Amino acid sequence: KGFVDADHIGAQGHSWGGYQVAYLATRTNIFAAIESGAPVVNMFSAYGGIRWGTGLNRSFQYEHAQSRIGKSIWEAPLRYLENSPIFTLDKIQTPILIMHNDDDGAVPWYQGIEFFIGMRRLGKPAWLLNYNEADHWPLKVRDKHDFQIRLSQFFDHYLKGAPEPKWMSEGVPA
C-alpha cells in the first residue's frame, strides 16, 4: 500500500524470537537488517545442556515446549538439523546484530558465539554485543541504555542510510 519501504524492513527478536529471526534470515532476504537476541542457533549443542538458573535439562524445550519437535535428537536428527540456523548460515545475506550475555541462565552464551563466529567465518556482516555479568536480558541501566543506542544506530544505518557508527566499523575491545 506504499506506507512501508519494502527495501528497508527490519526485524528484531529476543530468546525464542531471537531464534525465529535467526531462522528467518536463513530462509528469506526480505529484511534489510536483523537483531537477534539470545538465540538458540544450534539445537544439537544446546539439547544436552542445562538451564543454569534452574538446573533443568534443556531437552524438554526441544522435545515438548517451544520447539515442539516431539522427539529426541536420536529419534529425529533431521528435524534438529533443519531447525538449527547454524547449518544454513551460508544462505544469510542480511546484516545481523547479535546480543547474548555471558551470564545467561536460559540460553547458553555459546549459542550467540557460535552464531557470530559462523557468520564472520563465512564473511557475513555480523556484530556480537555481550554485557558482562548480565543474564538473559541486560538489567543494569547502563547496559540497557547502551543496547538501545547501539540497536538504534544499527537499524538507522541499515534502514535509514545513517553513517555506520564507529563501534560497527572498528569494534570495541573486550
Termini Cα distance of the chain: 45
Q: Give the cell for residue 142.
A: 547502563
In this prediction, residue 173 carries a pLDDT of 65
- The average pLDDT across 145-151 equals 95
Under DSSP, the state recorded for 170 is H
Cβ(124)–Cβ(96) under 8 Å?
A: yes
Other Cβ atoms closer than 10 A to 26: 18
Confidence of residue 171 (pLDDT cuts 50, 70, 90): confident
Other Cβ atoms closer than 10 A to 53: 12
∠ CA 84-41-25, nearest 5°, is 80
Q: How many CA atoms lie within 13 A of 78 on its CB side?
A: 0
* C-alpha pair distances (Å), 14 with each of 4, 20, 23: 23, 9, 12
Does the pTM exceed 0.85?
A: yes
Q: Give the strands of the sheet with 33-37, arranged side by side.
A: 10-14, 33-37, 96-99, 126-129
Q: Quick one: what percent of the chain has pLDDT higher than 70? A: 98
- In tens, the pLDDT along 51-103 reads 777 777 777 777 777 777 888 899 989 998 999 999 999 999 999 999 999 98
